Structure formats: C-alpha cells, structure tokens
Amino acid sequence: MNPSSKTAPDWFSPGRFAGLLGLLIALAFPDILVGAQTFLIRDYGLYSYPVAWYHHQRFWQGEIPLWNPLSCCGVPFLAQLNPMVLYPPSIIYLAFPMPWSLSFFCLLHLFLAGMGMYFLARRWTGSNMAGAVAGLIFTFNGLSLNFLMWPSHLATFALIPWVLLAGESACLEGRRKIIPAALLGALQFLAGGPESILFTWVILFCLMSIHFLKNNAPRRALVLRFLAIGILMGALISAQLFPFLDLVAHSQRDKNYGTTDWAMPTLGWGNFLLPVFQSTHWHGLLVQTGQFWTTSYYGGIATMLLAAVALWRERSWRVWLVGALFLSSIILALGDNGLVYAWLRHFIPAIGFARYPVKFTILSLWALPVLAAFGWRYFENLNPGVKPKSQYLFAALFALAILLMLRSTYLHPMEEGIYPVVQQNGLCRLAFLAVSLATLHFFLTRPAWRKCAAFAFLLFVWFDLVSHTPWQNPGVNPDVYAPGLARLKLNLNPEPALGQSRLMISPNSMSQVFYKAMDNPKDEYLVDRVVFMSDCNLIDNLPKAEGMFSLYLRDMHQILGAIGPDTAPARLDQIEDLMSVSQTIAPGKVFDWIPRTNYLPMISAGQKPVFADEKETLHALLQETVDLRQTVYLPKEAAGVITVKEKSEVRISNIKFGAEKISFAVQAQTTAIIFISQAYYHHWKAYVDGNPTTLWHGNAAFQALETSGGQHEIKLIYEDRIFHYGAAISITALLACALAWFIPRRKSSL
C-alpha cells in the first residue's frame, strides 16, 4: 500500500514527523538541549561520562586509546565495545565541548531512533500515521529513556530499525543495496551494545527465513545476499571485532558467568500496564523489585491497546512474527521464573556470557511499537461507518488488570507508603486509556476531523510516556563534571600518579556509598566524585586500583574479586601493597582519605622469584602473609628460563610512565627480576636495550621480566597487532565499498 493512498492520507510526511519529533524531544529536555543542565543519573555519571571524558582527552592528545592505565591497574579500552572508540558519531562528543556534547549525542540518537522506526513501520504498514505512532513510542518508551544513561546502548538500540530497513531491502533486491546494509550493520556494531546487536540479527534472520519460505525472492539469491551482508559487515568491523574477541578470550566472562539475577519478576508483565507496579524507591527513582537494570520498560497504555487489536484483527505474517518475538521476549525476560530461559541456557551454554534476563525487554520494546503501528493501520483502513468493538473489550481487560494490581499493592505493598504513589500512577494510566479510546472513537466516527484526532492521539501517547514514572533522567548543573574537582577538594598527599601509586576506595566505604540515598542528585554525585566511585577517577586523571567495566582481565578480576567488606585487614593491606595503593579510606570511615606509606612502588626490582601455578600463587597472595619486597611469584614454566635465584640489589631511575609506553633505567649488580604493578596482557611487549625479552605474569596478574647485571634501558610498549590487522581489513573493506558504489551497475546474481 502506498502511504499517499486514500486509506493513508499524507498527514505525517517524513519532514513533518521529523519536525514534530524534534519538538517533542526539545520539550522533554529543554535545559539539556541548550546546555544549562546535563544528564547524571546512575551509570551516566559513574561510567558513561568518565569513559567518554577519557576518550575525549586522548583524542585531543592525538591518540587512539587502546589501553586505559588509570583503572583496574590497567585494562584494555578500545576492545571493550562500550566506549565506542571507533563509532563515527562519537566525533560529536570528541570534537565539541563536554559535557554538553555527550548529552546532545544522546538526544540525537533518540531522534534517530524515532525516525528509523517511523520509516520501518511506514514501509511495513503503508501508512504515514502508523509510522508516526511507532516512531513516537520507540523514542519515548521507558527503556529508551532509561538508555540515556548508557550512550552505547542507546545508540545501538536506535539503529535497530535502520539495520532492519536496509537489511531486508538488500536481501530482497540485492545489488548495491548490500553496501548500505553492511555499513549500517557495521555502524550498529561499533556503537557497542551487544544485546541490541544480537536481537537485530535474530529479527533479520526471522524475516529472511519467512521470505525464503514464501519465495518472495529467488531463494539462492536471498541466501547469498544475506551472507554477503554478514561477510562485508564482518570485514568492516574487524578493527573493533578482533580486539573485542581477543579480550573476551582473556576476560572474566565464560559460559558460567551469567546468572538469572535481575530477571523480570513473576508478575512483571503487569508493568506494561502499570509501570510502577512492584516498585520501591531507590536513589530518587522508582525501581522494580528484583532487578535494577532498567527503571522502566513501559511502552504506553495506548500502545498495548493498539498492539492487542493488531494481534486480534490483522491477518499478516509480519504481525504474527512480531507478536511471536514479543511473546518470546517477555517469557525469556522472566529468567528461571519463566522456565524457558533455564532450558535455553542448558542447550545454548553461550548465553552464559551475558547477564540479566530482563535485557530481553530490548526485543519487547522493539516489537511493541511495530504492533501498535499495525493496530493503527487497522483502524485507519476501516470503511466509514464501521465501528469495531475489539478495542473496548481489550480496554476493559486492561482496566481490570490495573485495578487488580492496585488492590494487590494495597494488600501487599513493596515498601511502606508506596501505595499512594502506585494508586496515583494507576489512575493516570486509566485516564490515558479512556482518553485514547475517546480519541480513537472520534477518529472513526468523524472523518472530517481525522487529522486532528490523529494528532491528539500522538500527543496523548507522548504525555503518557514522559509522565509514566518519576523522571528517569533528572538534569543537574554541568559543573558536577568539572575536571580535577575532587583532586583540588581533597588535596591528597601523596597524590597518586602514573608510575608512582594508585588510590583505592575501601570495601566498607564502597558498600555504604553505593546504597546511600539522598534527595538531591547533585549532592549524591559529588559524594561519588570525592570517593572516586566506579570510574569517577578518570575525570580527575588519577590512577585507581579498581573500576567499572563490562570486561575485566581474568587474572586481575580474581585479585579484585577477593576484596570485600569481610576481607581481613591484613589481607586487604597486602593486596593494597601489591597494587601500589598510596591513598585509601580510613577504617570505619566513608569519606576520609588517608595515606599509606608501605605500598610497593609501581616499578620495583630485586625480588627473589618463587615459581608456582596460578592456584598456588593466588592462595599465597590472598590467604598468606608475603613480603612482596622480597618475593615475586612467577609461573612454573618460567623456572627453566629465569636464572635469578636470590634477591638482588637494583636501582630504578628515570621512570616515564605513559598510557601505552613505559620506560625506565635499571642499575643492577647481578641478574635481577623487575616487577611492574600493572595488569598483565599479552599485547604488552618488553625490551631491554632495544632487544625483546619475555614479559611474565608476576604475582598472578601483574608484569615481571628479567634483566642481566649492569645498566640497562627498559621499555614496555603496548603493541596490539590484532587491532592493526583488523584496521587494515576494515579500511580495505571500506575502500571496496566505495569502489563498488561508484562503478557502473551490472547485472548480478546478488
């Protein structure tokens, strides 16, 4: 059906919808858009902004940040995916002043999300208005607004409809359309949200399977085109994919890593109708009991009404497919409560690499706007005078469900005083349901006023979505991100610095700060700044023993994972020595930093080697008392190579400790061991007087090497050849795309 046909008047052309969408985003985030305020809540301030700031700083130093020396005693940076180092739109917050540019980056992707869904729903339904309904819901649903704290997840989620649009066209039509499909797929991968990427390709595979069965295109060509998109995309993303897979192989994640924690509660389906059902107050937000990954996955009460009508009335394979994906996603989101997830984990162990079953709501919140679009098309295509009853039946069922949830909350509140909040929220949802029904009735019975009714319906949907829960993204003054703010306020002495020492928040302080609750988000975040919670140290350019990342190096994760509130003081002290911690929180305190004087320098030398396997080494470091100035543990395979037998006298001087290059001078009386308190990773290479030498695991997770007696110049350089090989493939593939796009068209089986 053509969008300009009589059954689908051109009320919301792409230009008009883009204008409306931009206006509604501006109305929702006026202070953010002009830079008077910035996003802050949860992981935005603790992870997203600090990581983007670190990338921003390295960009202006003319460097590609392959390694981050300021967190976790050193951790791969580009390979993480989430920092979006190779994502082209990241240039927005790299080139322009922060924090405004990162907030704008997020709002821009909200806009891209809505436009992508508009075009996808418009193509599938043939209706501009249906596209507008889907686009608005996809932009402002609870999950999209929650994603504002994770720019990477937001960008990847926003690109789902764009990849599906281009991918389906390329598979059905082939030729040069394969190129934009592969480019968009590559763009989504570089944005770095793995779950959205996976769900995108699951959807596309399902679409192509049905096209294959229905013979909507030559089957051989369909398969070849799908494979061509995947192969070309794989080549384009090699610069990111190769380092990522390499890090995964050396990370803490394996098939047993994931758990069923943070699944949707057993009655969590009710939150699609009553968004604050089963919720409690936490850090100024209302969060669902049992999972804290998202503060909402509400898609709108009118959305549920339209989706139900579509599933009941529409006889389209697309509706059935999207409905099946929606049902599958909400069952899997229940985790073990839904039984299917446990079965799936058993037969597909790779699922264990991921965490939190509630993430399946990503697929749910893609499916709901599409179903709503088909529901709207059903009403739009009805002949004048036809008055369907199905919407009233579903509205009555939804209203009854909301009333039952209100009664359940009244009888069994999740916390004291929560019922009035849930009651008000439920009454508002009932009001929006009634208004949506009235607007649909007006749309069906007053043909001359359909345009006004459609516009009013969109506004009611928008207002329902932006008001469905206490605002998930409160803004604050941008000065909370002032560089060096905590450094100046604390005046640490000695001040940790690369090549010298690190700071580390105590386990007791971390647990108390994490669960603190303040009325003012700004005050709460300033506390996070002065204790360097999560990755806040990156804003102050101070090295820290720990940090918050998706992937940690496996060996270092075992050391850091042994630290907790119950760790014995003597054991904690030994671990802090090992990690060169010069500043920590005083025992029993939350904010009071105190110096440590007995920490091991970040570069030390002369220790006596002890050869042991990984288990023995970890036991010695975490359970026994070891003098790390006298002893260094090396792997057993080093015993036949290392010639040092006893402690030796060594002098270290002229230390230059950079992000990806370390150099220092050594004066040793005899052959000696050099220990570097930095995380071991196989891309670090060691050179003595310009000659390569073996870099060993030292003390389980750190770096060590052997040098002969005399004076030597030692260098450690981060050489990621895997990244360089991947970059060469990506550049070659990009050039091939450019050549293929501009060469004359020729007939091809693709």
Report angle CA 221, 224, 230 to the nearest 5 degrees.
140
Q: Are residues 114 and 226 in the same domain?
A: no
Q: Give strand pairing partners of 38.
A: 476
State the pairing for strand pair 502-504/581-585: parallel
* Assigned domain for 8 exists: no
Q: Is residue 583 part of a domain?
A: yes
In the predicted model, is pLDDT for residue 287 greater than 90?
A: no
| Domain end call among 595, 616, 648 | 595
Please write down the HEC assignment for all residues of 608-643. EEEECCHHHHHHHHHHCCCCCCCEEEECHHHCCCCC
Residues with Cβ within 8 Å of residue 280, at least 6 apart in sequence: 286, 287, 289, 414, 415, 418
Three-state DSSP class for 191?
helix
Q: What whole-number distance in Å separates Cα of residue 689 and Cα of residue 71?
A: 29
Interval 526-575: pLDDT, tens = 999 999 999 999 999 999 999 999 999 999 999 998 888 888 888 888 99
Residue 7: inside a domain, yes or no?
Answer: no
Instruction: State residue 8's pLDDT score.
Output: 40
Q: Are 553 and 582 contained in the same domain? A: yes
- Is 226 found in the same domain as 198? yes
- 678: domain CATH number is 2.60.420
Asked if residue 362 has pLDDT above 90, the reply is: yes
Regarding whether 150 and 168 lie in a shared domain, the answer is no
Same structural domain for residues 433 and 313? yes
Question: How many CA atoms, within 13 angstroms, populate the side-chain half-sphere of residue 719?
Answer: 8
Last residue of a domain, one of 409, 434, 466: 466
Q: Look up the pTM and report it.
A: 0.94
In a domain, 459, yes or no: yes
709 and 733 inside one domain: no
Has residue 38 been placed in a domain? Answer: yes
Maximum Cα interatomic distance, the chain, rounded to a whole number of Å: 99
Higher pLDDT pick, 561 / 238: 238
Tokens of 106: 């997020």
Domain containing 426 equals 18-158+262-466
What confidence score (pLDDT) does residue 679 get?
Answer: 96
On whether both 575 and 682 belong to a single domain, the answer is no
90 and 232 belong to one structural domain: no
Residues 611, 679, single domain; the answer is: yes
Any long-range contacts for 615-621 (C-beta under 8 Å, 24+ apart)? 617/699, 617/700, 618/558, 618/559, 618/562, 618/700, 621/559, 621/574, 621/575, 621/578, 621/699, 621/700
Do 636 and 648 reside in the same domain of the chain? yes
Residue 590 — very low, low, confident or very high, per pLDDT cuts 50/70/90? confident
Final residue of a structural domain among 566, 595, 624: 595
Residue 472 included in any domain? no
Tokens of 709: 């007696």
Q: Whole-angstrom Cα distance, residue 96 to residue 35? A: 12
Asked if residue 703 belongs to a domain, the reply is: yes
Count how many domains the chain has.
4
Of 108, 7, 92, which is closest to residue 52 (Cα–Cα)?
Answer: 92
684 shares a domain with 671: yes
**Residues 622 and 687 occupy one common structural domain:** yes
Q: Is residue 12 part of a domain?
A: no
Q: What is the pLDDT of residues 243-276, one digit of tens each?
A: 999 999 999 887 666 566 788 998 999 999 999 9
